[in-house]
Amino acid sequence: MNYFCRINRIKEGNDFEKKHTPFIECPDIVKSEEYFEVKISPGIPHPMEDSHFIQWIELFMGDIYLARVDFTQFMKPEVKLMVKAPSEGHEKFTLKALMRCNLHGVWEYIKEIKLE
Ligand SMILES: [Fe+2]
């Protein structure tokens, strides 16, 4: 299987998939235009070695780029970011996290959030 020819998503829920999925933890409901904390990390710790490691994590709101964090093999691939909720007029929005492993490609996770 070539993980580099597509964006990968969790399907079977096995340990390999959990290790590569950038799970998003944040409130399910947030207030418009207020900052809230978003934590992104793999469900199971991924190796961080010279030959196999997580290179970066990116965060998007819908398809709008928000942030990117690059890692070396000396880091734990886990980030906490403060994100500003969209203005009123939306009922809900999505956050999308991408995470890249140097051997196993880019993995995506999407979470839907309601606006209060
Ligand atoms: Fe990997």
Q: How many domains does the chain have?
A: 1
Residue 4 lies in a domain: no
Predicted local distance difference test score (pLDDT) of residue 89: 83
Determine the Cα–Cα distance for residues 52 and 60; give it in Å rounded to an integer.
Answer: 25
Residue 39 lies in a domain: yes
In this predicted structure, the answer to whether residue 88 has a pLDDT above a threshold of 90 is: no
Predicted local distance difference test score (pLDDT) of residue 107: 98
Mean of the per-residue pLDDT values of the chain? 96
Cα–Cα separations (whole angstroms), residue 13 to 44, 56, 78, 88, 96: 11, 22, 20, 35, 18
Distance (angstroms) between ligand 1 centre and the Cα of 91 equals 36
**Short-list 89, 90, 80, CA closest to 36:** 80
Residue 38 lies in a domain: yes
Distance (angstroms) between ligand 1 centre and the Cα of 2 equals 13
Is residue 5 helix, strand or coil?
helix
Distance (angstroms) between ligand 1 centre and the Cα of 92 equals 32
User: Which structural domain, as residue segments, surrounds residue 96?
Assistant: 10-115
Amino acid, single-letter form, for residue 65: Y
Cα-atom radius of gyration of the chain, to the nearest Å? 15
Confidence tier at 74 by pLDDT (50, 70, 90): very high
Report the pLDDT averaged over residues 40-54. 98
Distance (angstroms) between ligand 1 centre and the Cα of 98 equals 14
